[in-house]
Amino acid sequence: MTIVYWVRHGENVANVSRTLSHRVFDGDLTAVGRSQAQALAARLAGEGFDFGSAWVSPLRRARQTAQILTAELGLGDAEVVEALREVDVGVLDGRSDDEAWRVYETTLTRWRSGDLGARFPGGEDGQQLADRLAGALTTIARRDRGPALVVGHGANLRAALPVLAGGADPGRDLGTGYAARLAVIVGRHPLVTVLDWP
């Protein structure tokens, strides 16, 4: 079993501008986001966690958050894992208009109700997302007995959890600069248990 601390990156430009961001738009952390990452790093350092490794989404906001965390925690550079990238929203990527957000929320609602075949136009469906994150967590758990530090995104983890953990949606988003604690057991498919969802 591997304990994974899944950190949602700090606040970034896409959060402020409400821009959907998978590949097209890749904004920096804001000053608030950098402060959130520094506060989380200090909290984790103060609690004495001995992380074996760090892993990160390729998106800038996650990499910038990881740089702050790994520096404070005395870890080497985080390994970039493409599969940790945010939800692939297809043609909605880079948009911030009300219609794009309506499609986004409708698709996530369908996933949460069990309709994993619902697909973002030109993007991925719920099962593809869950399979992608399952692969990433399997790789991490096989290479690190933990605890492992993962810096990624909130929407992709929350959307995939009902499949990965075999349970209900946690009911709220993971806040920017916060960490959820997961237990991952590798088998034919990873078995994920949510230990803490702040």
Secondary structure string (H, E, C) spanning the chain: CEEEEEEECCCEHHHHHCCCCCCCCCCCECHHHHHHHHHHHHHHHHCCCCCCEEEECCCHHHHHHHHHHHHHHCCCCCEECHHHCCCCCHHHCCCCCHHHHHHHHHHHHHHHCCCCCCECCCCCEHHHHHHHHHHHHHHHHHHCCCCEEEEECHHHHHHHHHHHCCCCCCCCCCCCCCEEEEEEECCCCCEEEEEECC
CATH class of 2-196: alpha beta
Residue from 65, 57, 60, 59 nearest 37 by CA: 65
Q: What is the pLDDT of residue 54?
A: 96
Find the catalytic residue in 11, 22, 86, 124.
Answer: 86
| Catalytic residue selected from 9, 11, 22, 153 | 9
Structure token pair of residue 112: 């949460």
Catalytic site residue 189?
A: no
What residues contact residue 187 under an 8 Å CB cut-off, 6+ apart? none
Sheet holding 179-185, edge to edge: 79-80, 53-56, 148-152, 2-8, 179-185, 191-196
Give the start-to-end residue ranges of the domains of the chain: 2-196
pLDDT of 49: 80
Angle between helices 98-112 and 154-164 (to 10 degrees): 20
pLDDT score of 69: 97
Any catalytic annotation for residue 86?
yes
In sequence order, what are the beta bridge partners of 53?
148
- Blockwise average pLDDT, block size 10, the chain, 198 residues: 95 95 93 97 89 95 98 94 97 97 96 94 97 95 88 94 86 94 87 92
What Rg do the C-alpha atoms of the chain give, in angstroms? 16
For position 144, what pLDDT does the model report?
78
